[in-house]
Amino acid sequence: MSEKIGDMNSHCGECDLIDWCSEPYGSPYLCTDGRFEDVEVAKYITLAETSAVDLDTSKITPEINRDDFDCASDYEDAVDTAVLNVYKVLVADDVEKRLEEVPNDFV
């Protein structure tokens, strides 16, 4: 039996969901998200990898002030992280919708 997301107990950065989770300081924080507590990790990953979410980065303007950073690369990293977190939220929402459509034994 595969591990359920709700049983992962916040092992941030040490789990298979690292590419799809924003860990404890961002959203989505998958192992504490009640929508996915009974979902198998492998099933979530499969659905996330096959998500058709289209991210139009031109429409995303993170509220990050360039003056808060000492160098341009740190600012750019912060913006990239914010955009990636938006993408992860959109994928999580897509996975939630698609969970209702796939059979329980789907992986």
Domain boundaries, the chain: 5-99
Tell me the per-residue pLDDT of 64-99, one tens digit each, with 9 for 90 and over: 888 888 888 998 888 888 888 889 999 999 999 999
Tell me the per-residue pLDDT of 46-65, one tens digit each, with 9 for 90 and over: 999 999 988 877 777 778 88
This prediction has a pTM of 0.80
- How confident is the model at residue 84, as a pLDDT? 87
At 7, is the secondary structure helix, strand, or coil?
helix
Whether residue 104 has pLDDT greater than 80: no
CA distances from 2 to 9, 34, 48, 91 (A): 15, 18, 17, 21
| CB distance 5 to 41 below 8 Å | yes
